[in-house]
A and B are shown apart, each in its own frame.
Chain A
């Protein structure tokens, strides 16, 4: 379970002054459901997810992840989270197995449990053929599988995906989307950010539209369509964000 309560994040830029990357955002993600954070580039998706993963601290507000406060107990939050994004790269000089084991140990797994868990994940993701290969020698698909194995090794109840398919080819992207579905089916709480409409339609149980740091609309796809009188998600998205866009332009 994730519960964001009035999350805000301000950055200071020498040229632009204070920037509100996230502005009083509140939402809930339930176990066994996928929450999709939909927004354009620079909307505040990554910052929100980084706060939930405790990589960044909120300027205001807070969030609870599995009952732990992101500000008060960041290490306990991270122990319950699997975080995957295109920015979470792999250590090039470690083998796939060494990398997954490293993160298993950082998550406090004992050696016996770790071995069992690694064997299980490598077999499930069909990774046995390259477990001894260094990460800098892996193909993009193999790297993505290794990243998935890294997030799964401590079997976290919450999964956070920040634009996980960005820049990937169709087959590798499919591996990721299949994995996200599997996480939901196993009862995990999943939050997922994207700007790709088709991914949202296919995967998300609840959608939050974020723009300029603010959460402008939230609901299931059906609820959003009904509320805004628009069937096409792209049109719906533009309709939600455009009034604000025009205000900004004025």
Chain B
């Protein structure tokens, strides 16, 4: 191996790379912008939409209102609902979003309250439709309060304290620090995103430096120079690897900045708690370190596969399914309940993704970290060896 020759190839490939708009977009722009756009954009838009839906006074309908004039009177008094006159096609009206929900009062409801027999009040809503669900939730809350009021009255009439029905209270206490709670929430997709971006960062340079060279006819030009194939592969590989690292660094940096900014925005989670989206520097550094051997693996693998193609387009069609194959383990890691086990620590991509999830919550299992780092390094080395061997094959280089 001649390091000087490797450096010459690398320098030339770098010059060409920075002049290529396509690779710059995939390596620099996308990783830099995807986190602010995704996190700030989607979550902010989402919270605006939820906020808007929550502010809306739901339009509801009462079915069989005559069965409980008392309940209807209480419901109509509230500003929280806009009660519209009954129409027999109330189900269609919910589906058509003309009303958000409907409440059906059973026959002899009022009488059964006196007698103490059990009755069921139905709340109709459209599942999956946010405003309808919110309307139904409010109706349920109202009914719960109404029911509790009746219970209190019954207990009072028999001179019994309220504690008769609730002999003890249950309260959950969170011991995880706030950053770990937010880490668990956002960590599930951070590792995934870094992995995907380091792969897409490597993808276009990998195509350009292999199939691109074949398509442009420059492969024969460089093969006629005295450089050895090993030095040529290494020079090219280092550029693809650099592109992948740049994409990983930019995505991690962008992620850190986005979360720092979001931390000030005081977003709330599903329980209404303020989410502290603060990521420790150590977590970020570790996510990056664990992404390194994976970026190495992606670079060598993508280069090897792209080399089989005769043109840029053909290489894209080879690599697109490969991208899906690589995305599957990354997605699997996001699934709830998938935990890092010694066996899974040997599955490439999935292991790093799961580890990133742990790191984001501030958990460092050094044994797993070492095992995953080492196993990914072995896979990466094998992929580079494969890339070198493929570059030796005339049937691949001059496929016609």
Q: Is B153 an interface residue (CB 8 A)?
A: no
Q: Is A88 an interface residue (CB 8 A)?
A: yes
A contacts, CB < 8 Å to B: 11-12, 50, 53, 55-57, 75-76, 78-79, 81, 83, 85, 87-94, 98, 102-103, 105-108, 150
Q: Do residues B15 and A83 form an inter-chain contact, with CB atoms below 8 A?
A: no
Which A residues are CB-close (under 8 A) to B394? 56-57
Could you say which interface size class chain B belongs to?
20 to 34
Q: Is B228 an interface residue (CB 8 A)?
A: yes
Minimum distance in angstroms from A192 CB to a CB of chain B: 15
Known A56-B394, A94-B16; contact A88-B217, beta-carbon cutoff 8 A: yes
Known pairs A79-B226, A91-B216, A102-B8; list 11 more (Cβ under 8 Å).
Answer: A76-B226, A78-B226, A88-B218, A89-B216, A89-B221, A91-B12, A91-B221, A94-B12, A98-B12, A103-B225, A107-B226
Q: Encode B345-377 as 1/0 by CB contact (under 8 A) with A.
A: 000000000000000000000000000000000
Once bound together, how far apart are the Cα atoms of A87 and B12, in whole Å?
20
Which B residues are CB-close (under 8 A) to A75? 226-228
A91's contact among B16, B220, B225, by CB below 8 Å, is which? B16
Q: Do residues B217 and A87 form an inter-chain contact, with CB atoms below 8 A?
A: yes
B contacts, CB < 8 Å to A: 5, 8-9, 12, 15-16, 19-20, 216-218, 220-228, 394-395, 398
B8's contact among A78, A87, A106, by CB below 8 Å, is which? A106
Which B residues are CB-close (under 8 A) to A105? 8
Once bound together, how far apart are the Cα atoms of A105 and B226, in whole Å?
10
B15's contact among A87, A93, A103, by CB below 8 Å, is which? A93
Cβ-closest chain A residue relative to B397:
A55
Once bound together, how far apart are the Cα atoms of A77 and B67, in whole Å?
101
Q: Do residues A106 and B220 form an inter-chain contact, with CB atoms below 8 A?
A: no
Q: Top 5 nearest A-B pairs by Cβ distance?
A: A89-B217, A83-B224, A79-B226, A88-B221, A78-B226
Q: Do residues A81 and B8 form an inter-chain contact, with CB atoms below 8 A?
A: no
Cβ-closest chain A residue relative to B398:
A56
Cβ-closest chain B residue relative to A134:
B19
Q: Do residues B220 and A108 form an inter-chain contact, with CB atoms below 8 A?
A: no
Once bound together, how far apart are the Cα atoms of A219 and B225, in whole Å?
31
Cβ-closest chain A residue relative to B7:
A105
Q: Do residues B15 and A53 form an inter-chain contact, with CB atoms below 8 A?
A: no
Interface centre among B5, B15, B220, B225 (most CB of A within 10 A): B225
Once bound together, how far apart are the Cα atoms of A93 and B239, in whole Å?
16
Which A residues are CB-close (under 8 A) to B9? 106
Once bound together, how far apart are the Cα atoms of A89 and B12, in whole Å?
16
Which B residues are CB-close (under 8 A) to A102? 8, 12
Cβ-closest chain B residue relative to A11:
B395
Which B residues are CB-close (under 8 A) to A57? 394
Once bound together, how far apart are the Cα atoms of A81 and B395, in whole Å?
23
Which B residues are CB-close (under 8 A) to A53? 224
Cβ-closest chain A residue relative to B228:
A75
Minimum distance in angstroms from B63 CB to a CB of chain A: 71
Once bound together, how far apart are the Cα atoms of A90 and B221, in whole Å?
8
A-B contact pairs, 9 of them (CB 8 A): A75-B227, A78-B225, A79-B226, A89-B217, A89-B221, A91-B221, A94-B15, A106-B8, A107-B225
Once bound together, how far apart are the Cα atoms of A50 and B219, in whole Å?
13
B20's contact among A87, A93, A107, by CB below 8 Å, is which? A93
Known A56-B394, A94-B12; contact A81-B224, beta-carbon cutoff 8 A: yes
Known A88-B220, A88-B221; contact A106-B226, beta-carbon cutoff 8 A: yes
Q: Do residues B15 and A89 form an inter-chain contact, with CB atoms below 8 A?
A: no
Q: Do residues B398 and A85 form an inter-chain contact, with CB atoms below 8 A?
A: no
Once bound together, how far apart are the Cα atoms of A50 and B224, in whole Å?
9
Once bound together, how far apart are the Cα atoms of A39 and B271, in whole Å?
81
Minimum distance in angstroms from B229 CB to a CB of chain A: 9
Q: Do residues A88 and B224 form an inter-chain contact, with CB atoms below 8 A?
A: yes
Which A residues are CB-close (under 8 A) to B224? 53, 55, 78, 81, 83, 88
Which B residues are CB-close (under 8 A) to A85? 220
A108's contact among B19, B222, B226, by CB below 8 Å, is which? B226
Which A residues are CB-close (under 8 A) to B12? 91, 94, 98, 102
Once bound together, how far apart are the Cα atoms of A56 and B394, in whole Å?
7
Cβ-closest chain B residue relative to A101:
B12
Which B residues are CB-close (under 8 A) to A103? 225
Once bound together, how far apart are the Cα atoms of A87 and B221, in whole Å?
8
Which B residues are CB-close (under 8 A) to A108? 226
Known A93-B19, A94-B12, A94-B15; contact A87-B220, beta-carbon cutoff 8 A: yes
A93's contact among B16, B221, B395, by CB below 8 Å, is which? B16
Once bound together, how far apart are the Cα atoms of A106 and B349, in whole Å?
37
